[in-house]
């Protein structure tokens, strides 16, 4: 689409072109994403009889011809049929193949391949890297399958987006609508640690939150959850309070409490025992990670009573 220009065509070009999803995908998808990576090849010294068997066994209608690693030709079932007619089935592939091979690059869009197919009417195109290495083979069937697969993925993503939080918040009328998600976290249970954060992340994705926001919430809630698992005496609760404009995450436990909050906030300071550190936890970076993800953070603690961490992330 062209924006304003100086020759008076601005009005005509401002009308956005009707681009279908499929046309968009043809320009988006790369050949390497749809090609068949397992390539059956033959050598120029093979006979057409052997080639015929290869084609039959693998249910394909043609193959590239390689001498060592070098692509030297391409041969198809048509060549086999011609040879059969003439009684030349024991001729060498090298004598009957097409030597002027049209190839496409793996990192080109499938639009390039569609054009090449349209121009030449080939059944298949060998796919090579920029330095000439054969990495795949592409048929029109591969393109159709690749497009369908991508359409399906895009459709699923759209389905998730349709489930937007805004709808829930629009549909349910109150002076203040919020969604509360509460997860119990067990002390010293590193088998299930991280599950609350995973579930919360999935819920927010389903509610249609922006990926960058979801990431911050995922990191902050994971760290809060691990803190409960590492440090709390009897476990704790992780609560997410979702409102249209912000999410508040609260992690609460009933002890042991933090003696020196200022010290606990210092990067690298940790009271985690060795066995927990060996698992990769307790690096003393958790609270810092939380702080860098949050728009607001409050940490209150009293020794022998408990700790309450509250963070707010604006949506």
The binding site for other proteins (CB under 8 A) comprises 33, 190-191, 193-195, 197-198, 201, 215, 218-219, 222-223, 226, 279-281, 283-286, 288-289, 292
Residue (55 or 272) nearer to other proteins, CB: 272
> What are the two backbone dihedrals, phi and then psi, of residue 301, each rounded to the nearest 5 degrees?
-155, 145
DSSP the chain: -----TTS-HHHHHS-----HHHHHHHHSBHHHHSB-S---B-TTSBHHHHHHHHHHHT-SEEEEEETTEEEEEEEHHHHHHHHHTT-TTSBHHHHSB-S---EETTSBHHHHHHHHHHH--SEEEEE-TT--EEEEEEHHHHHHHHHHHHHHHHHHHHHHHS-HHHHHHHS--SS--EEEEEEE-TT-TTTTTHHHHHHHHHHHHTT--HHHHHHHHHHHHHHHHHHHHH-SS-EEEEEEE-SSEEEEEEEE-SS--S-HHHHTSTT-----HHHHHTT---S-HHHHHHHH-SEEEEEEETTTEEEEEEEEE-
Residue (113 or 230) nearer to other proteins, CB: 230
- Shortest separation between residue 16's beta carbon and other proteins, angstroms: 30
- Shortest separation between residue 108's beta carbon and other proteins, angstroms: 16
- Shortest separation between residue 23's beta carbon and other proteins, angstroms: 23
- Shortest separation between residue 46's beta carbon and other proteins, angstroms: 26
Residue (132 or 170) nearer to other proteins, CB: 132
- Shortest separation between residue 159's beta carbon and other proteins, angstroms: 18
Residue (283 or 303) nearer to other proteins, CB: 283
- Shortest separation between residue 154's beta carbon and other proteins, angstroms: 16
Residue (105 or 281) nearer to other proteins, CB: 281
8's CB contacts (< 8 A; 6+ apart) are none
Residue (52 or 291) nearer to other proteins, CB: 291
- Shortest separation between residue 95's beta carbon and other proteins, angstroms: 34
Residue (45 or 195) nearer to other proteins, CB: 195
């Amino acid at each position: 689409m062209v924006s304003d220009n100086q020759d008076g065509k601005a009005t005509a070009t401002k009308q956005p072109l009707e681009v279908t999803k499929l046309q968009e995908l043809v320009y988006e998808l790369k050949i390497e994403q749809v090609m068949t990576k397992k390539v059956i090849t033959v050598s120029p010294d093979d006979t057409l009889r052997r080639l015929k068997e290869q084609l039959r066994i693998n249910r394909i209608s043609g193959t590239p011809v390689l001498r060592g690693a070098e692509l030297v030709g391409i041969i198809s079932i048509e060549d086999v049929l011609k040879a059969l007619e003439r009684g030349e089935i024991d001729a060498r592939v090298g004598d009957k193949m097409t030597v002027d091979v049209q190839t496409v690059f793996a990192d080109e869009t499938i639009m390039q391949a569609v054009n090449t197919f349209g121009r030449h009417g080939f059944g298949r195109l060998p796919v090579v890297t920029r330095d000439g290495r054969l990495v795949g083979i592409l048929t029109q069937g591969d393109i159709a399958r690749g497009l369908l697969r991508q359409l399906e993925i895009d459709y699923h993503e759209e389905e998730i987006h349709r489930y937007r939080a805004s709808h829930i918040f629009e549909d349910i009328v109150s002076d203040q609508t919020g969604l509360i998600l509460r997860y119990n976290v067990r002390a010293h249970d590193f088998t299930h640690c991280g599950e609350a954060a995973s579930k919360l992340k999935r819920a927010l994705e389903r509610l249609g939150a922006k990926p960058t926001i979801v990431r911050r919430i995922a990191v902050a809630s994971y760290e809060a959850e691990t803190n409960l698992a590492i440090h709390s005496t009897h476990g704790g609760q992780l609560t997410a309070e979702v409102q249209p404009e912000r999410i508040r995450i609260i992690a609460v436990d009933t002890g042991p409490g933090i003696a020196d909050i200022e010290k606990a906030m210092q990067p690298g300071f940790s009271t985690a025992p060795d066995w927990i550190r060996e698992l990769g936890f307790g690096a003393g970076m958790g609270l810092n990670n939380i702080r860098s993800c949050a728009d607001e953070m409050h940490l209150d603690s009293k020794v022998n009573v408990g700790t309450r961490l509250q963070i707010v992330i604006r949506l």
